[in-house]
């Protein structure tokens, strides 16, 4: 399973979402602070959207651990966010569950407040830690995914 996680993040760094998707189970569930909990269709869209819109995205990963059907990894994403191209360094701890040799559950843990401070400037710094902000960003992010069409 370690190789599966290595393949996933190496493919992300290379913007090869099709290779990333070979690591995901058909019934994948993804969750993070920005998008919330997503079913398989939206989970896959997250990565296509991120790679299509994050042309300067780089991903570095380390500290992969596997324990039976669970695993974890640390990774960092660097990219420019929004029309102002604000630089973001997102430090993420991921947890995984495996089924049938694939990732069935992928949860990313990171500080939404730290992310918002970088991505949105002073407004993110002030509001980024609130439950209101979290609900609003998840609502907007999910609407974005609803409209996004995968071009592959």
CB-based contacts of 56-64 (< 8 A; 24+ apart in sequence): 56/80, 57/12, 57/13, 57/15, 58/13, 59/9, 59/12, 59/13, 60/9, 60/13, 61/5, 61/6, 61/9, 64/2, 64/5, 64/6
Q: Is there a domain that residue 139 lies in?
A: yes
Structural domain contains residue 8 = yes
Mean pLDDT confidence for 133-143 = 94
Is residue 128 in a domain? yes
Backbone φ and ψ of 9, nearest 5°: -75, -30
**pLDDT at residue 151 is higher than 80:** no
Q: Taking a C-beta distance cutoff of 8 angstroms, is the pair 127, 116 a contact?
A: yes
Host domain of residue 6? 2-147
What's the pLDDT at 150?
Answer: 85
In the predicted structure, residue 152 carries a pLDDT above the cut 60: no
Tell me, yes or no, whether 152 lies in a domain: no
CATH code (residue 28): 3.10.450.50
Domains contained in the chain, number: 1
- Which pLDDT band holds residue 16 (cuts at 50, 70, 90)? very high
Whether residue 11 is contained in a domain is answered as yes
State residue 83's pLDDT score: 83
Predicted pLDDT of residue 79? 95
């Amino acid at each position: 399973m370690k190789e599966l996680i290595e393949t996933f993040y190496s493919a992300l760094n290379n913007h090869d979402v099709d290779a990333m998707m070979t690591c995901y189970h058909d019934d994948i569930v993804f969750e993070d602070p920005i998008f919330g909990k997503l079913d398989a269709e939206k989970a896959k869209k997250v990565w296509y959207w991120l790679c299509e819109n994050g042309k300067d995205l780089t991903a570095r990963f380390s500290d992969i651990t596997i324990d039976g059907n669970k695993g974890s990894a640390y990774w960092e994403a660097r990219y420019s966010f929004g029309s102002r191209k604000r630089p973001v360094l997102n430090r993420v701890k991921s947890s995984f569950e495996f089924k049938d040799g694939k990732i069935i559950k992928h949860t990313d843990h990171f500080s939404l407040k730290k992310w918002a401070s970088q991505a949105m400037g002073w407004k993110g710094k002030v509001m980024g830690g609130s439950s209101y902000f979290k609900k609003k960003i998840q609502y907007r992010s999910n609407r974005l995914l609803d409209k996004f069409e995968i071009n592959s």
